Amino acid sequence: AVLTPARTLWPLLALLAATAWAGTTIHWSVPDALHGLDPYFHIRQAWLMRHGQGDPAQWFQFSIYTTHPADPEWGFHWLLMPFTFGDLVLGAKVAAVLGLVLFTVVCWWVVWRLRLSTPTLWTIGALVLFPSFFLRMTLLRPFLLTTGLLLLGLYGLIANRRWLVGITVAVWTWLHSGYLLLGSVIILYLALDAIRIRRIDWTLVGWTVGGWLLGLALHPAPWQYLSFWLQLAVLTRQWHAARLEMPFAMELQPWGAPWWQASVGLLVFYVLDTIWLWRMPRQPQGEARAAMVKRFLWIVLTLTWVMTVRHLRFFEYLVPVTILTSAYLWQEPLIRARRR
């Protein structure tokens, strides 16, 4: 694929400008405050880390976690430190807008690198298909970066760029505790690929494990960081067993009726993806991998739906996975439609 200013670069620049303008408008609608509660914690923790006071043991006793103090978003807070020189609210707003623009670039780049049709339109779809997604992506939270990392990881698997998968795993492990999500996606890909080629891709396994170990090594408290996941799993199970309302953990709540009503567009995409996948003609032997990738993306999308329905916090991943899956599955029908 070749970047041409008229057909590709200028639409991308216009999209980035519009995204930055929309994000800035949302943030400056409340001049002296931040949207949501999480951004206050993240920017303050980054400020504390810059001043050598970011030890999570100081505040873990006030959280829902009682043992094994570790900052599960240490890398994210480290990246925020340059935005803590001066007014923290202003710094948080600037960082959030930059994160939104970065996600837009990654989404566009992945679609473009896979040689899929109209990357700009697909990226616009990711931003406007579900209005709540755009609003949540203006919040200063790790999801600003991990959504892009998930797309990069999926691109690495689809394009057979094992080194990129390893780097993505390392960065996500260092950045945020949700790295197990990408690990699960890689395991699924390895299983489907092993069925196709009748052997395990040990090179991909090596890159994945190496990236994970590197990400852990870069964390200041790797063993506490690992035990954090176990503690979170135990607490979540206890909450659900006790049927608690969990007002302090709304992100772990299942979808309610308003979310279902607002997600009609996403459901339409999922239904169309499913119909097209199962009506897809049998692929020739030389295109077996392409067929496997399509099944892989559909399974990832289906599992993301299941996780999102159970826990709202996975919603940020549902939208970009929907866009990438649809762009990949619909590529051939769109090409045929143009030729007609």
What dihedral do alpha carbons 327, 329, 335, 337 form, nearest 10°? -100
Q: What's the gap between Cα 133 and its chain centre?
A: 12
Q: What is the pLDDT of residue 225?
A: 78
DSSP per position, 276-295: HHHHPPPPPGGGHHHHHHHH
One digit per residue, the tens of pLDDT, for the chain of length 340 reads 444 545 678 888 999 999 999 999 998 888 788 888 889 989 999 999 898 886 766 666 666 555 666 788 889 999 999 999 989 999 999 999 999 999 999 999 999 999 998 899 999 999 988 878 898 899 999 999 999 999 999 999 999 999 999 999 999 999 988 888 999 999 999 999 999 999 999 999 999 999 999 999 998 888 877 777 677 666 666 666 665 555 555 666 667 666 777 778 888 999 999 998 888 766 665 578 888 999 999 999 999 999 988 877 788 899 999 999 999 998 877 766 666 6
Q: What is the pLDDT of residue 1?
A: 45
Any idea what DSSP says for residue 253? S
Spatial distance between the Cα atoms of 133 and 28, rounded to a whole number of angstroms = 19
The pTM is what?
0.89
DSSP per position, 218-247: HSSSHHHHHHHHHHHHHHHHHHHHTT---T
Q: What is the pLDDT of residue 266?
A: 87
Residues 6 or more apart whose CB falls under 8 angstroms from that of 65 comprise: 228, 231, 232, 235
Q: What is the pLDDT of residue 184?
A: 94
Straight-line distance from the first to the last Cα atom of the chain, in angstroms, rounded to the nearest whole number: 23
Q: What is the pLDDT of residue 298?
A: 96
Please report where in the chains the tokens 């619909």 appear, as a residue.
330
Spatial distance between the Cα atoms of 296 and 293, rounded to a whole number of angstroms = 5
Residue type at 51 in one-letter notation: H
Spatial distance between the Cα atoms of 301 and 111, rounded to a whole number of angstroms = 16
> Could you write out the three-class secondary structure of 29-93?
CCCCCCCCCHHHHHHHHHHHHHCCCCCHHHCHHHCCCCCCCCCCCHHHHHHHHHHHCCCHHHHHH
Neighbours of 190 (CB within 10 A): 17
Sign of CA dihedral 119, 269, 261, 257: negative
Closest CA to 137 of 88, 99, 171, 106: 99
Spatial distance between the Cα atoms of 204 and 190, rounded to a whole number of angstroms = 8
Closest CA to 298 of 275, 332, 264, 331: 275
Structure tokens belonging to residue 88: 């923290």
